[in-house]
Structure 1
Amino acid sequence: MLNVVDGENNDYDPFANRSVPHPTSDLDTLIHLLKGSLGSGILAMPLAFKNAGLAFGLIATCLIGLICTYCVHILVKCSHKLCKRTQVPSLGFAEVAETAFLAGPESLHKYSRLAKFMINAFLVIDLLGCCCVYIVFVSTNLREFLGPYLDGPNFDLRLYMLALLPLLIPCNLIRNLKYLAPFSMVANILMGAGISITFYYILTDIPPIDSVAPIAEPQHWPMFFGTVIFALEGIGVVLPLENNMKTPNHFIGCPGVLNFGMFIVVLLYSATGFFGYLKYGDLTQGSITINLPQDTLAGMVKLMIAVAIFFTYSLQFHVPMEIIWKNAKHNFSTKNEIFGEYGIRIVLVLMTVGIAIAIPNLGPFISLVGAVCLSNLGLIFPAIIETVTYWDHPGMGKFSWRLWKNIFLFTFGIIGFVTGTYVSFKEILEMYQ
């Protein structure tokens, strides 16, 4: 039974009651935040700018980054308030949603389990969707690297995806996250090196600014929104990071770990999108590495990116598998648990490869994942959670400004969700016509 007390007047300090065996420092948390936010999405930012235009893309990316960061602030502050109100030391994303409904208006208590289920469902769909995108990224870059030795770009991309299966399955049978840490380190080094060399190509012989459109046609904007949300939104990793900090009060605030980390993320994504689109213009591809020339150094970049994203797949796969297994393990006897878990892991890997084979067009796929999942997780749900958290308590503010602000965030998220999903599906369907 949830123990709810007056969150404004009780002296409970959730930070003081947390028992974390190996707490992370501010620097550790910043590094993990950057790792969680700087992924394959950065390679798709030039395509996002192509769908927005150079000037509009730069302004809109910064604004979306600001809104996403603010929504993370909302989620973390609600987590702190609900921890005090229920006298628990920490809460995860889905638990924050469940607790908000249980501690909020009585009429909403019955929806608490639904709220938790919705968060977990979108997290699973989002992270498995990212795994599908990773398969397309890896296969595309491998084809670019191996093309000169095989049949060039005419070699079917789907065959590369199938060829990954014998490697993907054993890698994703690893159950302990500790054994994935070396792969994470290798992935970070390769991704950092690959992006650095990519910038060398992008910043060489840059065309004049007026060589590309400052603003694209509005019908392309939803693709931009979905891609940028996919690239920027790392809300799924935020609360686990904050819950494991040695000084969690340093996470939000000014400057704060979150603000500093997101500033770096938005800066890097904006620079990649701006200069990548300026360099390649209308020829910009779903992954900027595809635009690199066919020389030895560029070939090594494509290989490094492919290997880095391949290793990242296993890390990304771990979280949805944990959520699924937690809810499925009771269906197996103790004797058959290990076989049940391995079976689910294999089925999920086969499913992600199957979806990637069905939708090998990188741009619409990325936009679809961003629009469907991350507009909900990053914009809509934080607005709903804050509204429910403050509904029966002081804090809606003068003229109910917090309510109106959350209505704006909710509406913005819904518009992005609907338009982004529609345009992405439309482009995917056009592939088969």
Structure 2
Amino acid sequence: MTDNTSSKEKSSSVFTLNDFNSKTNLTEKGQLHDDYNPFEHRDQVKGSSTGGALAHLLKGSLGTGILAMPMAFYNAGLVFGMVFTLIVGILCTHCVHILVRTSQQVCKDTRVTSLGFAETAEKVFELGPKPFRPWSNFAKQFVDCALMATYYAAACVYMVFIATSFHDVINFDLKLDWDIRIYIAFTVIPCLFIGQIRSLKLLVPFSTLANICIVVVFGITLYYMFNDTLDFDRPLVAKVTQIPLFFATVIFAMEGIGAVMPVENSMKKPQQFLGCPGVLNIAMITVVGLYAIIGFFGYVRYGPGVRGSITLNLEKGEALADAAKLLMAIAILFTYGLQFYIPNEILWRKINHKFNEKNHNITQILLRSGIVLISGGIAAAIPNLEPFISLVGAIFFSLLGIFVPSVVETVYLWPNMGRFNWKLVKNIILSILAILALIAGSAASIQEIIQDETNED
């Protein structure tokens, strides 16, 4: 999204709640849908292609989390891990489907070209049943704050991951003893430049290169995994106390809900996002398949000795293993732009009116640079951020990825919830699962933080 897009969002206020209420019967509402097609008003010049949208969506879901899938399988067991990785993948895909579909319908209702995640939640409550309307602003602010907290925190972890990868390879190969904070300082430099990119279209080459790097890393990782005898004598189901860590890891790793609406909104042909095969289905089938393969065989190969990132289990000092670690670091660096884009668009939309329009460009440059430097400072001050980010992910991705889409669809469709209210029942079950994942994931993450602190003492 660019400043251009923001101005379009502002224009959405032209269609007021009173305008909508004057068209409450289904016939008139259907006629309104026929008269206005938001897809026809998308930017055909600056918009992203279908291939570019697919690259962004793949990159949004293929981050550092996939490297932790063998550890997730260790916390689940072979059979339990495989089955529930597929189930969580299906649930995440369904929740994205209902969120995007609801957003597209609200765009038709309100005659708006596109709506972001938070704007969709706001409009659904604003135009929904009367008891829910006072909650519209809260819904928007909650989604915005949750997205910013999650993605800014994850951006800090990205810096730590990149720096750690270079630290381990360079220090070992060159016999150096440089502190991790030196590598974090070097990592900040390219992040300052990548963080200035404000268009998803311009980020497409970075996402494409990142995806290529990840494919190569997967190839190398698979080579090492299958280069030795595989031991299938692993627990089929792990201990009950370990299961919450599995769900916390899988949901946080797989859920790219924050990138979905910006990607869909930027497409020249958003009608190709959903459907069969559709951008979303292709991306999620690829993501779930890769997660399942890496998780299953990574655990089979390394067993209880598997580490938080599968690349850390690769041989030290070997050229191919070092290449995998460095390529993954580069892939995450290229992903930083997309990770950084999402919360900055939200923040800028909230504060841009406070600055003179003539100074918007320099203000954005200074703002983005300041946030990158602050992120680097936090990463350097606390190089072990993973447990804290897992906590943020367990809380917000369970809510953003499953709970909010379920609530949004329920409020929008109310009271027409299908035969025997099956959609209502389905969304209640999804909401309960999201709350359980939140509680269990948070408890497991807090326990991990306490253990880390105890070990350091």
Inter-partner Cα distance in structure 2 for 1:180 and 1:244: 12
Return 282-291 or 421-430, whichever deviates more: 421-430
1:407–1:359 distance in 2 versus 1, CA, 3 Å: farther
CA contact (8 A) 1:206 1:278 kept: no
**CA deviation profile, 1:400-426 (whole Å, cap 9, x unmatched):** 222221111111111111221222122
Q: Letter of the 1:126 partner, please give it.
A: T
Inter-partner Cα distance in structure 2 for 1:247 and 1:186: 23
Which of 324, 330, 336 is the equivalent residue of 2:347? Answer: 324
1:170–1:7 distance in 2 versus 1, CA, 3 Å: farther
CA contact (8 A) 2:64 2:332 kept: yes
Partner of 2:453: 432
Is 1:388 the counterpart of 2:411? The answer is yes
Q: For residue 209 of structure 1, give the secondary structure of its aligned residue in structure 2.
A: coil
Q: Letter of the 1:252 partner, please give it.
A: L
Partner of 2:418: 397
| Aligned-residue RMSD, C-alpha | 2.6
Q: Letter of the 1:306 partner, please give it.
A: A
Partner of 1:168: 191
CA contact (8 A) 2:59 2:335 kept: no
Which of 268, 271, 286 is the equivalent residue of 1:264? Answer: 286
Partner of 2:428: 407
CA contact (8 A) 1:145 1:300 kept: no
Return 276-285 or 324-333, whichever deviates more: 324-333
Partner of 2:334: 311
Inter-partner Cα distance in structure 1 for 2:358 and 2:443: 46
1:358–1:280 distance in 2 versus 1, CA, 3 Å: farther
Return 84-93 or 272-281, whichever deviates more: 84-93
Is 1:421 the counterpart of 2:442? The answer is yes
- Write out aligned runs for 1:238-249 (5 A): 238-245=260-267, 247-249=269-271
CA contact (8 A) 1:361 1:428 kept: no
Q: TM-score, normalization: structure 2?
A: 0.85
CA contact (8 A) 1:74 1:382 kept: yes
1:342–1:29 distance in 2 versus 1, CA, 3 Å: closer
Partner of 2:396: 373
CA contact (8 A) 1:37 1:265 kept: yes
Inter-partner Cα distance in structure 1 for 2:139 and 2:204: 32
1:174–1:89 distance in 2 versus 1, CA, 3 Å: closer
Inter-partner Cα distance in structure 2 for 1:235 and 1:350: 26
Structure 1 residue 371 displacement after superposition: 0.8
Structure 1 residue 163 displacement after superposition: 3.8
Inter-partner Cα distance in structure 2 for 1:362 and 1:315: 20
Inter-partner Cα distance in structure 1 for 2:129 and 2:83: 39
Q: Letter of the 2:304 partner, please give it.
A: D
CA contact (8 A) 2:128 2:411 kept: yes
- Write out aligned runs for 1:39-54 (5 A): 39-54=63-78
Partner of 1:219: 241
Is 1:21 the counterpart of 2:36? The answer is no
Inter-partner Cα distance in structure 1 for 2:25 and 2:219: 48
Q: Letter of the 1:85 partner, please give it.
A: D
Partner of 2:79: 55
CA contact (8 A) 1:252 1:259 kept: yes
Q: Letter of the 1:317 partner, please give it.
A: F
Is 1:237 the counterpart of 2:259? The answer is yes
1:244–1:308 distance in 2 versus 1, CA, 3 Å: closer
Structure 1 residue ranges without an equivalent (≥5): none
Q: How many residues align?
A: 429
CA contact (8 A) 2:77 2:237 kept: yes
Partner of 1:345: 368
CA contact (8 A) 1:368 1:420 kept: yes
1:390–1:17 distance in 2 versus 1, CA, 3 Å: same
Structure 1 residue 84 displacement after superposition: 3.1
Structure 1 residue 16 displacement after superposition: 5.4
Partner of 2:4: none
Structure 1 residue 175 displacement after superposition: 4.8
Inter-partner Cα distance in structure 1 for 2:238 and 2:51: 39
CA contact (8 A) 1:127 1:320 kept: yes
Q: Letter of the 1:323 partner, please give it.
A: I
Inter-partner Cα distance in structure 2 for 1:134 and 1:185: 18
Inter-partner Cα distance in structure 2 for 1:122 and 1:30: 24
Q: For residue 422 of structure 2, give the secondary structure of its aligned residue in structure 1.
A: helix
Inter-partner Cα distance in structure 2 for 1:367 and 1:287: 14
Q: For residue 208 of structure 1, give the secondary structure of its aligned residue in structure 2.
A: coil
Structure 1 residue 293 displacement after superposition: 0.6
1:313–1:15 distance in 2 versus 1, CA, 3 Å: same
Structure 1 residue 190 displacement after superposition: 2.2
1:237–1:157 distance in 2 versus 1, CA, 3 Å: same
Q: For residue 236 of structure 2, give the secondary structure of its aligned residue in structure 1.
A: coil
Structure 2 residue ranges without an equivalent (≥5): 1-15
Q: For residue 211 of structure 2, give the secondary structure of its aligned residue in structure 1.
A: helix
Return 156-165 or 416-425, whichever deviates more: 156-165
Return 259-268 or 330-339, whichever deviates more: 330-339
Structure 1 residue 174 displacement after superposition: 4.7
CA contact (8 A) 1:137 1:287 kept: no
Structure 1 residue 299 displacement after superposition: 0.8
Partner of 2:156: 132
**CA deviation profile, 1:162-181 (whole Å, cap 9, x unmatched):** 44234433443455656555
Inter-partner Cα distance in structure 1 for 2:205 and 2:112: 34
**CA deviation profile, 1:296-321 (whole Å, cap 9, x unmatched):** 11111111111221222133212211
CA contact (8 A) 2:60 2:339 kept: no
Q: For residue 432 of structure 1, give the secondary structure of its aligned residue in structure 2.
A: helix
Is 1:122 the counterpart of 2:143? The answer is no
Which of 134, 137, 159 is the equivalent residue of 1:110? Answer: 134
Q: Letter of the 1:48 partner, please give it.
A: A
Q: For residue 214 of structure 1, give the secondary structure of its aligned residue in structure 2.
A: coil
Is 1:86 the counterpart of 2:110? The answer is yes
Which of 296, 302, 324 is the equivalent residue of 2:319? Answer: 296
